[in-house]
Each structure stands twice: as structure tokens, then as C-alpha cells.
Amino acid sequence: MPATHTATATATSTGLGTFQSRVELAGQTLIADEPADAGGTDSGPTPYHMLAAALATCTTMTLRAYAAQKGLEIGLVSTEATHHRAPGQTPSDRFERTITLDPRLDEAVRAKLLAIAERCPVHNTLTIGSLVVTRLAEGESDT
């Protein structure tokens, strides 16, 4: 990933239920929501599902990019990321990540890939932190 990178996503409430939102990003549209037991309509992934998906996706992409750069044939990579929230604990958010690699890879390659996973950009954002700057848009809403 380049040193400077910008990614923009826009979430707009749909008016269906309290939480359902239309999310537009990278030329794609998806629906985000909360489960019914949390007051949503259960019509899409929650924001925390998308955050876990970002970690899983970035990990898989990072490992494949590293392998390509080094000329390694590592086969398919699968990453599962699970988010746990435990208010009152420090930190209150915990991500568990399980990476599945081709079992034929030797231990040295597997260990190196595990170390590379720790350098995935989304992993770094979650563990090192980021700055969120919030402002109100000028003028009337067009939605």
C-alpha cells in the first residue's frame, strides 16, 4: 500500500428501522444494520462485522502480496477475524484472527507469514491507533 492512501465510505440512513444504512464505497453499495435483538432489521452486517472483515481481508491480501513479492508459492490463504466487545475491560475490544495456510508449507515459511500478518495495515490501525476528525457538512442535507 502506498505511504499515503485515502479510502472514503459514505453511510446514509435508509429510513427503514433505526439502524439500516446504505454504505457506498469504492463504487459498490451494501446495506449495514444491527441484529433484530439490538433494535435493527438484521438486513446487513454490523459496523463491527465490517471492521472484522477489514482485518481478515487485509491480512489475506498482505500475505498474498508478500508471497508474490518474494516469489513464494503459498497457495490459497484464508483469514477469519472475530470481534469481541467486553465493556468494562481494558481494552474493551478484542480481535481474534485465525489464518489458514496450505499445510504443505514448511514451518519457517509459516512462521514468517505469521510475522508478516502482524504488519498488515489494518492490524496496525487497530493496534497503534488513528486520529478521527469530525465536522458537520455545510448547508442542507440532500438526502
Q: pLDDT, tens digit, for every residue of 83-137?
A: 999 988 888 899 999 999 999 999 999 999 999 999 999 999 999 989 999 999 9
Task: Look at residue 106 and give its three-state secondary structure.
Answer: coil
Report whether pLDDT(43) > 70: yes
C-alpha closest to that of 114 among 66, 70, 72: 66
C-alpha closest to that of 78 among 49, 103, 51: 103
Report whether pLDDT(142) > 90: no
Q: Which domains does the chain have, with CATH numbers?
A: 10-45 (no CATH), 46-129 (3.30.300.20)
Percentages of the chain per state (helix, strand, coil), in multiples of 5: 30, 20, 45
Q: Is the peptide bond before 45 cis (omega within 30 degrees of 0)?
A: no
pLDDT digits (tens, 9 = 90+) for 58-97: 999 999 999 999 999 999 999 999 999 998 888 889 999 9
Name the pTM for this structure: 0.90
Q: Within a 10 A sphere around the Cβ of 90, how many other Cβ atoms?
A: 5
